[in-house]
Structure 1
């Protein structure tokens, strides 16, 4: 099931499904490594925003941007894993 990052609890590992925003927001998220299929670990979350680990870096997203990043459970078949992250990892890196 596809949900925004703000709806996942801390400690969850998800995969980016899509970025539901304009060209500028999408460009910004892609530049930070939040690409479709990429694993993301939610370090702290909620409606006020999210702190996540993606590709080995911690990123803090305001509630507006975090709400635009749609994600699925790391084991979901709805979104294929990205090619740049080796295998199905337990940790987001």
Structure 2
């Protein structure tokens, strides 16, 4: 990935973290689905979920999907995604 692309991605991440921007109408249904699938305990709030998820965003900074952090290597193995690193690593490059 070129430096300009990485810079664009980092800006998208910064925007997405202020606060996490779910697609319209998706936050509650996604939380309900993860609880139903047993990925989260009953009673988990959206704020709690936002704090423990792997987030995949589009270049518009809107969340595409999110996963509980049980085994992120499964999701990151998909060639459709580009792993750039942990936020702490990216911020300090």
User: Structure 2-normalised TM-score?
Assistant: 0.26
Structure showing greater relative contact order (alpha-carbon pairs closer than 8 Å, 6 or more residues apart):
1
Larger radius of gyration: 2
> Structure 1 or 2: larger helix share?
2
> Structure 1 or 2: larger strand share?
1
